[in-house]
Amino acid sequence: MSESTAPQDPFPDDLFVGAPMGDKVKGIDCEFAATPEEVKLLIDQTKEKQDAKSGKKVPDAPDAAEQDALERYLAANGDQRFLIRTIQRVLFIPPARQFDASIGAIIEAGAAVEEYKEHRIIKVPLAAIGPYFDEVRRAASVTRAARAVPGALLMAFVASFDAFLADFIRQAIVESDEPLSYSDRQLTLRDVISAKSLEELKSDIIDQEVEQVLRDSHLKQTDYIKKVCRFDPLDRYSRKIDYLEIFERRNLTAHGIQKYNDSYCRNLKGFGRTCNQLRGARVQIDPSYLRRTLDIFAEFACLCDFAYGVKRHPQEIDERVRSLNSRVERFIASGRHELGVWILGFLLSFEKEGYGEYARKLVCLNLATAQSLMGEAPAAASTLKAYDWSASAEEFQIREAALRKDVDTVVDLMPRFKDGTKLTKKDFKISPVFRPVRDDAKFQTAFEDTFEEPLRESPMQEALGGGDDDPPPIEDATLSEQSPGTAGGS
C-alpha cells in the first residue's frame, strides 16, 4: 500500500503517556463498565465549562440515542486531546484525592477535620453545607464515571480499529488485480440500472462487500484479508490469542455482561487458550489492559500494512523497513517501549531479498533502545552483539556508544554530524537512542559547541529527555545467549 494511501494509525502515539499504568489504581474500582451515559455526563459537563471559560458558544447537546458520547467525541475531534485529559483524570486520579482537593476552600473557611484509622469526620460550618454536598455529589459522580470509562474506552478502541480495518480492506480490494473476483455478492438488475456509471456501481459493490466483512467475526475478517491480500495476518503472530480475546471481552462489555460466561471461555478455548477458571469471575478492564489493547491494535495495523506493501511492491522492501522503523522510533519516544520491541523484533528476524544491512542495523539499534528503556539490559546487549559496531559507519558507532552510556565516544563523534546529513540536531535532542547520555553535562556542552544552540530549548525535549529513571548502561558482562531475532520475546 503506497505511503499516500496507507490507512492512518487510529490511535495517537502519546495516548496515556505519563499516566501510571499499574493493574490497580488506588481508590478506583475499574473492574467493569456498566453504562457509558455517566461518562457522557462527565465529558459534556467538563466540555461546557471549558467552552464557557473560553467564550465559545455551547451548542445544544445532541440526542444521546444517536451514539455513545465517546464515539461521538472521537469522530468530532481529530487530536483527541480534551478526551485524553478527561480520561486520564477519571482513570488515574483517585476520587478521594479529587475530593480532598475540591473541599480545600471549605476546610480553610472553618471546617474541622478529625482523622481516624478507618475514617474521618469533617465538621462543616452551616453556611458551607450547600457547597460541601455539591462536592460530595460530584465525587460520587466521578466514582461512577471511573467505573464506566474503561469499558466505554474498550468499545471506542475497537470501533476505531474496525474503521482502520474497513479502510485497509477497501484499499486492498481497489488495488487488487482481480477486484471482487472472490466475492459471492450477486447484483440485481435494479442495482445496474440505478447506477450512474460503472465506477459508481463498482464503488457501491465494494462498500457493501466491506460492510458485510465487518459484520463477521474478527477471525473471519483475517481469513478475508488472507484471500484478498494473499498473506495471513495471524500466521506466526505471537499475540494472536490476545488479539482475538480483545473482541470477546468487548462483546461482554457491549452486552452488559458483568462476568466471564460460557461463550467467552468456549471461544477462547477455540483460539487455543483454556480459561475455565475465569468462568463466573467479574470482567476486568483496567488501565494496563487498555494500554495493551492499544499496543496490540497498533502492532497489528503496522504489520498488516507492512506485509501488504511488501507483497505488492517487493522491490520497495528496504524503503518500507526504514519507514516502519522510523514510525516505531516515535512509539518508543512516546513511551510505548513494549510495542517497539514487538514490531522491531519482527523486523530484525524478517528475511527477504533486498532488505539491506543499513536498514537492518537501524532496526537493531532501535530494538536495543526499546529493550534498554524497558530495563532489559541483558536483552539489549544480546541484540547489539549481532554486529561489530566498531567496524560500522560513524552514525551507527555513535548510537551504539550512547546506548552503552559511553559519553566520551559520543562527544568525540558529535562534531562530525554538524552538517545534519546522517544525524540532525533534532536526533540528538529527541531521539530515544541518545536518552541514556542526554542529561550528561559533557553531552550538553558538546551539543552547544557543535550546533551553537542550547540542547534544552525544545519543550518536547523536557518531556522526552532522560531523568532518574534512565536505563542502566549496557555492559559486556550482561550479554546473554538470546539471539537478536528473539530478543524481547517477539
The reported pLDDT for the residue numbered 78 is: 45
Q: Out of 65-79, 151-165, 239-253, which region has the weakest mean confidence (pLDDT)?
A: 65-79
Residue 79 is predicted with a pLDDT of 45
Asked whether residue 432 carries a pLDDT value surpassing 90, the answer given is: yes
Residue 190: its pLDDT value, please? 63
- Segment 323-350 shows an average pLDDT of 92
Residue 24 pLDDT greater than 50, yes or no: no
pLDDT tens readout for residues 185-218: 666 656 666 666 667 667 777 888 888 888 899 9
Residue 106 confidence (pLDDT) above 60: yes
- 70 pLDDT exceeds 50? no
pLDDT of the residue at 353? 79
Higher pLDDT, 63 or 266: 266
User: 101 versus 419: which is more confidently predicted?
Assistant: 419
Can you tell me the mean pLDDT for 430-448?
A: 94
Which percentage of the chain shows pLDDT scores above 90? Answer: 39
Report the share of the chain in percent with pLDDT over 70.
64
Please answer whether residues 145 and 45 qualify as being in contact, where contact means their C-beta atoms are separated by less than 8 angstroms: no
Query: What is the per-residue pLDDT for 378?
Result: 94
pLDDT at 195: 64
Write down the pLDDT at residue 293: 93
- Residues 22 and 20: their CA atoms lie apart, in Å, by 6
269 CB neighbour count, 10 Å cutoff:
12
CA 436 to chain centre: 23
User: What pLDDT score does 390 carry?
Assistant: 92
Is 352 or 42 the better-scoring residue by pLDDT? 352
Give the separation between CA 354 and CA 386, rounded to whole angstroms: 19
Other Cβ atoms closer than 10 A to 472: 12
Q: Evaluate if residue 480 carries a pLDDT over 80.
A: no
Q: How confident is the model at residue 22 (pLDDT cuts 50, 70, 90)?
A: very low
Average pLDDT, the chain: 75
pLDDT at 121: 79
Burial class from Cβ neighbours inside 10 Å (0-12, 13-18, 19+) for residue 412 reads middle
Which one has a higher pLDDT value, 343 or 184?
343
Contact 164, 200 (CB under 8 A): no
Q: How far is CA 91 from CA 14, 140, 248, 298, 487, in A?
A: 16, 14, 23, 22, 33
Cα dihedral 289/253/218/243 (nearest 10): 10
pLDDT of 38 above 50: no
Tens digits of residue pLDDT in 136-167: 777 666 666 666 778 888 998 899 899 889 98
Q: Is the dihedral of CA 272, 273, 279, 284 positive or negative?
A: negative
Q: What pLDDT sits at residue 456?
A: 76
Nearest by Cα to 287 from 459, 111, 31, 479: 31
Q: Using CB atoms within 10 Å of the CB of residue 289, give its burial: 0 to 12 exposed, 13 to 18 middle, 19+ buried.
A: middle
Looking at per-residue confidence, does 56 or 420 come out higher? Answer: 420
Q: Are 296 and 44 in contact (CB under 8 A)?
A: no
Helix axes 357-373, 377-384, angle to 10 degrees: 170
Q: Which of 300, 319, 329 is nearest to 10 (CA)?
A: 300
Q: What mean pLDDT comes out for the span 122-126?
A: 74
CA neighbor of 325 nearest in space, from 362, 354, 279 = 362
Q: DSSP label at 479?
A: -
Q: What is the pLDDT of residue 28?
A: 31
pLDDT category of residue 481 using cuts at 50, 70 and 90: very low
The Cα 222–Cα 242 span in angstroms is: 15
**Residue 6 pLDDT exceeds 50:** no
Q: Which amino acid would we find at residue 32?
A: F
What nine digits make up the cell of 324?
516502519
The pLDDT assigned to 124 comes to 74
- What pLDDT, on a 0 to 100 scale, did the predictor assign at position 295? 92
Residue-by-residue DSSP string for 399-418: HHHHHTT-HHHHHHHGGGGT
